């Protein structure tokens, strides 16, 4: 039983670490806030019940992200801590009862959905500003913060003052920014919070200035002046010229607090900025000090998180999108509704099984929400409002893009187009080929790919390398400079290397990690034309299904023609192993997991390969060492189970001296 608990704790730590990085550092969350909060809460419960598995590096005792390497580090003298979350009125009541002896009053405030920052003023002037980071160490983004008009560069108060606020992007600015990015063929921001975070982390402050960011202050971190109450400190900030968090009220009773939460919640969809909850703080500064703080959260404050916003709409149509692997994905088209600050009118319906399980029919009244305030999704159907005569939806038997028959494999939910020359697949295959993790052709977004295809300039990957600036500059939304930049980006992609090329080709089940592993084992694209299924399966990280897809892909004559053409254009098809320095790791296999203190995985991989070793992405009995860093997850657990030697960065550095 204890091993099962330990495994779950390690799994949760790994999941939270991954999603925390996606949210705080990459500004690209993949799950909803609610799903993240539930993972976090489960980890807290398990660690509280099993202190024998405590770990000082656990996400449960950390605040959030890390400072990005590209910015100067900034240390917060007073930590910028996160808040304990509650998700129901019952939890909130329990929290209040644990504190209140009948004498407390509370400040109830909007919880702005943005990026937390600290601003330092000395002698009335803004001297430094930084992001929260992990609560102790953040990023120095002073120049970018100075572009926000609501941040005064000078204030009347001349003592030392450190204030905390939330930088956000107004909804109108967010919609304008995404419209511009879509027109330029760039990836869209998921929501205003991610747009704000990405904008504040620009290396060029002129870009930040164009993004129209704003800020609300909600706390004084340090001040030479003494305040007795929190609301008094907010009044002081207003006098200094700051915009403080709106709709804040000082209240006493549970009933008053609930009424204010309901009032703020009712305004959520009409506000010009995003909020994701309400913060309840003890108002008396002296009582806060008596109540105290935990390692990562104050005990005197709590955040009530709003549940995902749901709205009804009418399903007007189901349209089919053909993906790069030929999968036919049904998408719902419904009357526009406003959710989490943006208007939505489409959502994926995933596959035929999803539609049949929920009995979704055109004309139905559907309930829609945004998962994590990001991705629109259809939750259910209000069958009571269904009109008579509505027919069950039937997936097409022919591809809507090319008209060829579709195929439904018995072992998967997906229905696929059988035509490898399908125009829709071609479009999305080229988009994937040019994507950041593949050949990384900057400026070749979906809109540009579509323009090039419609002009008859590209019919496949290799055609990209035959393009000239003269062909491009006369196209819609293209000029001499943008054409020259695109050609330069295409030329740079020739140096991407074998692993990126393998991933870019779009072979089924060959993701980024598998491509890196295969490149390190086979070294040349030519080896893939002769490798057998048996040889692939004998590799640690390759299963039978993936092996089948690889052998099948390289058995097609068109693949040989494609690769030969890419070679003629100068695209690198060899894996460049680091120059070998010695043989100390000959016959050894390393697996890397977690975040290392001073080195990146690529740096470590180069050091291992330059000494004759191999780097694998999965742990097996054949693994020699697992090099584990902070937030190591399931690979570390498996290594412990198999008895594989586990080392840290310092031990590894000793090995290569």
Q: What residues act catalytically?
A: 111
- For the beta carbon of residue 6, count every other beta carbon within 10 angstroms: 16
Q: In what order do the strands lie in the sheet with 589-593?
A: 614-616, 589-593, 625-628, 645-647
Q: Which residues contact 525 (CB under 8 A, 6 or more apart)?
A: 498, 501, 502, 563, 573, 574
Question: Could you say which DSSP state residue 187 is in?
Answer: P
Instruction: Report H helices in 352-477.
Output: 352-358, 423-434, 446-454, 469-472
Tokens describing residue 48: 């509280």
- What is the torsion angle, in degrees rounded to the nearest 10, for the CA atoms of residue 620, residue 621, residue 626 and residue 632? 50
Question: At CA 548, angle to CA 546 and CA 550, rounded to 5?
Answer: 70
CB atoms within 10 A of CB 252: 14
CA dihedral 32, 37, 40, 42 (to 10 degrees): -110
CA distance 653 to 519: 25
User: 167, 215 in Cβ contact below 8 A?
Assistant: yes
Instruction: Report the distance separating Cα 626 and Cα 540, nearest Å.
Output: 14
- Reported as type and span, the H/E element at residue 276 is strand 275-282
**How large is the angle between the packed helices 33-49 and 2-20, nearest 10 degrees?**
140
- Beta strands 275-282 and 106-112: pairing type? antiparallel
The helix-helix angle for 634-642 and 2-20 (nearest 10°) equals 150
Which residues on adjacent β-strands are paired with residue 229? 284
Encoded tokens for 316: 């007007």
Count of residues in the chain: 657
- The tokens describing 20, both together, are 């925390």
Classify the C-alpha dihedral 247-253-258-262 as positive or negative: negative
Locate tokens 């405590």: which residue?
54
Q: How far apart are CA 337 and CA 378, in angstroms?
A: 12
The answer to whether 445 and 187 are in contact (CB under 8 A) is yes
Start-to-end C-alpha separation, the chain: 42
Distances 44 to 10, 251, 574 between C-alpha atoms, Å: 12, 30, 47
Side-chain-side CA neighbours of 640 within 13 Å: the count stands at 11
């Amino acid at each position: 039983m204890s091993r099962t608990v330990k495994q779950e704790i390690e799994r949760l730590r790994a999941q939270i670490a991954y999603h925390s990085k996606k949210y705080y550092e990459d500004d690209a969350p993949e799950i909803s806030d609610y799903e993240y909060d539930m993972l976090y809460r489960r980890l807290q419960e398990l660690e509280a019940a099993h202190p024998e598995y405590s770990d000082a590096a656990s996400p449960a005792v950390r605040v959030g992200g890390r400072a990005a390497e590209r910015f100067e580090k900034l240390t917060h003298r007073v930590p910028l801590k996160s808040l304990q979350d509650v998700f129901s009125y019952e939890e909130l009541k329990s929290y209040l009862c644990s504190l209140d002896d009948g004498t407390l009053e509370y400040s109830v405030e909007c919880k702005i959905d943005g990026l937390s920052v600290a601003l330092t003023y000395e002698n009335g002037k803004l001297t430094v500003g930084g992001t929260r980071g992990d609560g102790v160490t953040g990023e120095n983004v002073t120049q970018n913060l100075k572009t926000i008009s609501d941040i005064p560069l000078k204030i009347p108060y001349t003592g030392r003052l450190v204030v905390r606020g939330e930088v956000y992007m107004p909804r109108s600015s967010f919609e304008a920014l995404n419209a511009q990015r879509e027109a330029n063929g760039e990836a869209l921001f998921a929501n205003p919070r991610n747009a704000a975070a990405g904008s504040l982390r620009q290396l060029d402050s002129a870009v930040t200035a164009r993004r129209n960011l704003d800020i609300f202050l909600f706390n004084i971190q340090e001040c030479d002046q003494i305040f007795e109450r929190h609301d008094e400190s907010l009044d002081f900030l207003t006098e200094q010229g700051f915009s403080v968090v709106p709709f804040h009220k000082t209240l006493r009773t549970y009933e008053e607090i609930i009424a204010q939460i309901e009032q703020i919640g009712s305004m959520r969809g009409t506000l010009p900025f995003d909020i994701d909850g309400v913060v309840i703080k003890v108002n008396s500064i002296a009582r806060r000090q008596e109540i105290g703080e935990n390692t990562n959260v104050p005990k005197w404050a709590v955040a009530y998180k709003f549940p995902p916003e749901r709205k009804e709409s009418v399903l007007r149509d189901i349209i089919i999108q053909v993906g790069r692997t030929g999968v036919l994905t049904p998408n719902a088209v419904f009357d526009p509704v406003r959710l989490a600050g943006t208007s939505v009118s489409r959502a994926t319906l995933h596959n035929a099984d999803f539609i049949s399980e929920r009995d979704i029919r055109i004309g139905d009244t559907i309930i829609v929400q945004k998962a994590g305030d990001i991705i629109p999704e259809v939750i259910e159907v209000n069958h009571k409002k269904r009109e008579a005569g509505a027919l069950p939806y039937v997936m097409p038997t022919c591809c809507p893009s090319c008209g060829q028959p579709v195929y439904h494999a018995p072992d998967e939910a997906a229905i696929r187009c059988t035509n490898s020359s399908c125009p829709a697949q071609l479009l999305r295959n080229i988009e994937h080929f040019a994507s950041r993790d593949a050949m990384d052709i900057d400026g070749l977004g979906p809109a540009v790919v579509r323009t090039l295809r419609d002009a008859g300039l590209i019919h496949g990957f290799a055609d990209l390398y035959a393009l000239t600036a003269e062909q491009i500059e006369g196209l819609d939304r293209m000029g001499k400079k943008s054409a020259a930049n695109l050609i330069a980006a295409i030329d740079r992609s020739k140096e991407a290397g074998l692993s990126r090329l393998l991933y870019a080709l779009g072979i089924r089940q060959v993701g980024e990690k598998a491509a890196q592993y295969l490149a390190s084992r086979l070294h040349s694209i030519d080896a893939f034309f002769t490798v057998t299924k048996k040889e692939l399966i004998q590799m640690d990280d390759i299963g039978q299904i993936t092996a089948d897809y690889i052998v099948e892909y390289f058995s097609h004559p068109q693949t040989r023609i494609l690769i030969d053409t890419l070679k003629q254009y100068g695209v690198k098809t060899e894996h460049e192993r680091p120059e070998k320095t010695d043989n100390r790791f000959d016959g050894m296999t390393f697996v890397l997991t977690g975040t290392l203190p001073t080195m990146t995985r690529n740096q470590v991989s180069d050091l291992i390969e330059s000494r004759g070793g191999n780097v694998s992405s999965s742990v097996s009995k054949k693994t020699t060492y697992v090099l584990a860093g902070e937030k190591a997850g399931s690979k570390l657990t498996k290594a412990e189970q198999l008895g594989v030697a586990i080392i840290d960065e310092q031990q590894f550095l000793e090995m290569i001296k």
